[in-house]
Structure 1
Amino acid sequence: MTELGTPNWLPGPLRTDRLVLREPEARDRAAFIELFSSPEVGTYVGGPRPRDELENELPGSPTRRPGLFVIELGGAMIGIIELNRREEQRRTHVRAGEVELGYLLMPEAWGHGYAAEACTAALGWFADASPGEPVVLCTQIANDRSMRLAAKLGFTEVRRYEAWGAAQWMGVWSPALRRSAGPQSD
């Protein structure tokens, strides 16, 4: 099992055909502020954060957290992806010790397959680093894009529940289940 809490958790950037997944850098600060203050991005994650609040709170160099990847396209940050090992039980039914996948992309990056490409790379890296360990994903059922992405990635529904005033969905992805199920179609 990979220890997402270790300082050298990522030996180097992950590369796909179009993207680079890497640790955050100081040059990403403005993009983080844009991402977290976007009304479109905030639609299903509790709303956008006020830009002035983010300007005051975000450090000069975004925090490098194990499991947090910047999604880069052509040298620019277009979003983030996170594999976060939960230290305690969450209201979303994610239990302590489970690894949860999360992702946010800039609205202009939507609809190009970047989320699927980035998530596939991150899940592949995680499967190699932590063989057989499952990953969970939670999203609002109303978030059609996220629901389609979860299905495309091979997440299987575990439960539905109510949280934050909306119907939620939780799925699980397991490298072992993916291999036994065969290739996934688009």
Structure 2
Amino acid sequence: MTELDVPAWPLDPIRTERLVLRASEARDRAAFIELYSSPEVHTYLGGPRPRDELDRSVPEIPGRRPGNFVIELDGAMIGTVEVGTVEVGRREAERHGRVLPDARQVRPDAGEAELSYLLLPKTWGRGYAAEACAAALDWFADAVPGVPVVLYTQTANTRSMRLAAKLGFTEVRRFEKWDAEQWMGVWEPPAPPT
């Protein structure tokens, strides 16, 4: 897989109207554990992980990698948003293909960027996911111009399906996996000014 050239990490925080997107810090560990162990958050993601396992395995500073932002509201972490390359080993190749920016076709051997996000249930329904994802996509489009971004969700996850449409993702394909219909969409970055 071809790695995309992303800027050095961590970046300066990105500020939106209500949120701050920043690199994770040690103070975020408890919120990461809450996210990963939440049955509501993981309804469409294979289920939560046991809290005692997370207490042992989550590092002091979790999620510290290029393109992975903590979503902060009023000084507290409420979730994460990540946009960046997907390592081949992280997923089974049969789950999906990858989208080539020049050919608009799906190929299993091409590099890709993927958007993913998790928010604490107490923050749902307030537009924070849309605000954070839009800011992360804008950052990525500036950092790695011309690279499309994919998003995967279960079609049963109506909130994610609405968010994908709101962000401008268009359907590439649907497929069956984990006993559920999955959806793959692509977001095209804006054309650079001429």
TM-score greater than 0.5 by the shorter chain: yes
Partner of 1:3: 5
In 2, Cα distance between equivalents of 1:175 and 1:24: 26
**Which 5+ residue runs of structure 1 have no aligned equivalent?**
180-186
Partner of 1:119: 133
8 A contact 2:173–2:183 mirrored in 1: yes
In 1, Cα distance between equivalents of 2:43 and 2:17: 29
Partner of 1:36: 36
8 A contact 2:71–2:80 mirrored in 1: yes
Letter in 1 for 2:5: E
Deviation at 1:113, TM superposition (A): 0.1
1:90 equivalent in alignment to 2:104 = no
Per-residue CA distance 1:14-50 (angstroms, 9 max, x = gap): 1100000000100000000001000100101110000
Letter in 1 for 2:156: A
Letter in 2 for 1:60: E
8 A contact 1:86–1:99 mirrored in 2: yes
Runs of 4+ in 1 over 4 A off after TM superposition: none
1:132 equivalent in alignment to 2:146 = yes
SS in structure 2 of the partner of residue 43 of structure 1: coil
In 2, Cα distance between equivalents of 1:169 and 1:152: 15
In 1, Cα distance between equivalents of 2:125 and 2:56: 32
TM-score by length of 2: 0.85
Letter in 2 for 1:19: L
In 2, Cα distance between equivalents of 1:2 and 1:74: 32
Taking only the aligned residue pairs, the percentage that are identical comes to 67
In 2, Cα distance between equivalents of 1:82 and 1:63: 10
Q: Out of 97, 105, 121, which is 2:119 matched to?
A: 105
Letter in 2 for 1:25: E
Equivalenced residue count is 176
Deviation at 1:97, TM superposition (A): 1.3
- In structure 2, the CA distance between the partners of 1:50 and 1:14, relative to structure 1 (3 Å rule), is same
Per-residue CA distance 1:134-171 (angstroms, 9 max, x = gap): 00000000000000000000000000001111100000
SS in structure 1 of the partner of residue 151 of structure 2: strand
- In structure 2, the CA distance between the partners of 1:17 and 1:37, relative to structure 1 (3 Å rule), is same
Q: Out of 142, 160, 167, which is 1:146 matched to?
A: 160
TM-score by length of 1: 0.89
Letter in 2 for 1:104: L
